[in-house]
Amino acid sequence: MKKQKMTYLSSGMVGLAGLVLMGLQTNDAQAATNGTVNYADGATTVWTSPAVGQKPARYLATNQQVTIQDTKQVYGQTWYKLGNDEWVSSQFITAGDATAQPAATTTAVKNTVTANFQSGATTVWADTTAAQPTGEYLTYGTTKNVIDQKDLNGTTWYQLESKGWIPASYVVLNNPNLDGVTPITNAPAVTPVAATTTTTEVQAPTAPQATTPAPATETPAPAATTEATTPAATTTQPAQTQTTTTTQSSQQTTQAATTQQAPQTNTTTKASGNAQTVINAALSQIGTPYVWGGSTPGVGLDCSGLVQYAYAQAGVSLGRVTTAQEGAGQRVSLDNLQPGDILFWGGAGASYHDAIYIGGGQYVHAPQPGESVKTASISSYFMPSFAVRVL
């Protein structure tokens, strides 16, 4: 009898321990963050690293469920770790309970935008500074839902469900069939706008409504777009008015950039446009086939033809071949690249390939026969030899 009681007691203790272990395992499982792939226009790449030099590890399908183990900030973007050497940009993953997402998206009627640029793909940007592409591109006729809208310095920006931003000049609002709309064939210039919180500085209110076009025509544009909140722009030209007073910080930063246009550049080519216009024009040609000697946008381009076309949209005339384009500006270190710089492969005077740096360790180029214009990441497997800054 005593032995039987000991057996019951032991089994009870084991059962209690099992319940405790089950509770611990449940808590561990709930501690992980779930996510759902939200990119619907193709497969989403899982990279071996969020830094430059990464390789594709695998691909995810739309609505595929993943587990987010960790996060990391790289070049101002958030990356999710899905496993060992597996990283995906947060813009392609919706974090949280996937079952609650459909109900949230059907509770309200959403505005839509439809891409109206016919000569290439339309870039979706990480924010309204238009400095960092998200990697998402809209082909002509593609329709997306809008979740937010901003009107800054006369430019309207729409935020998509992927959290990326797109300028209104490339899309049509609430007209998915593009009825009665003439397609855009030339890439419109995009005015970068940085939204900041600097609103306390008040100076002489003499020019609150300066309407000078935001792209500074003879000023290195990357400095104006990537460092829009630094006051250095107003110190380079003491002869100009420094009364850049606004109640909206985005207008303040744009006007500060435009007061910089007096200093002339020392490059051999006149900088009559800005780097962002160059980048927009180059990215608009994504999907255009590589054609050796090609210089027709939307039909066929080779590497130097793409560079020549993109700079022409900013009013800068470049030579037709890579060796001629080497002398268009001043040499810069590969460790000090700015968006809009031209990357070259091969020795000086004998380069065989070039591309346009777009920031974040990426560039856009026309690779080789059989491929189309696309973006790529700088890596040790195909490292540029040198770079030239034109703007």
Catalytic residues: 303, 353, 365
Gap between the Cα atoms of 222 and 276, Å rounded? 7
Query: How far is it between the farthest Cα atoms of the chain?
Result: 104
Count of Cβ atoms closer than 10 Å to residue 12 Cβ: 10
- Residue given tokens 């076309």 in the structure block: 309
Which amino acid, 122?
T
- Find tokens 């009107």 and name the residue: 151
Amino acid code (one letter) for 72:
K
- Residue 303 to residues 79, 285, 289, 295, Cα–Cα distance (Å): 31, 12, 11, 9
Q: Which long-range contacts (CB under 8 A, 24 or more apart) does 51-54 make?
A: 51/361, 52/361, 52/377, 52/378, 52/379, 53/377, 53/378, 53/379, 53/380, 53/381, 54/87, 54/377, 54/379
| Amino acid letter, 265 | T
Sheet strands (E) in 227-346: 295-296, 300-301, 330-332, 342-345
Cα torsion for 74, 75, 77, 79, to the nearest 10°? -20
240 vs 143: CA distance, rounded Å:
45
Among residues 138, 117, 122, the alpha carbon closest in space to that of 183 is found at 117
Distance CA 154, CA 157 (A): 10
Q: Is 44 left (phi over 0), alpha (psi -120 to 50) or beta?
A: beta
Residues 338 and 274: beta-carbon distance below 8 Å: no
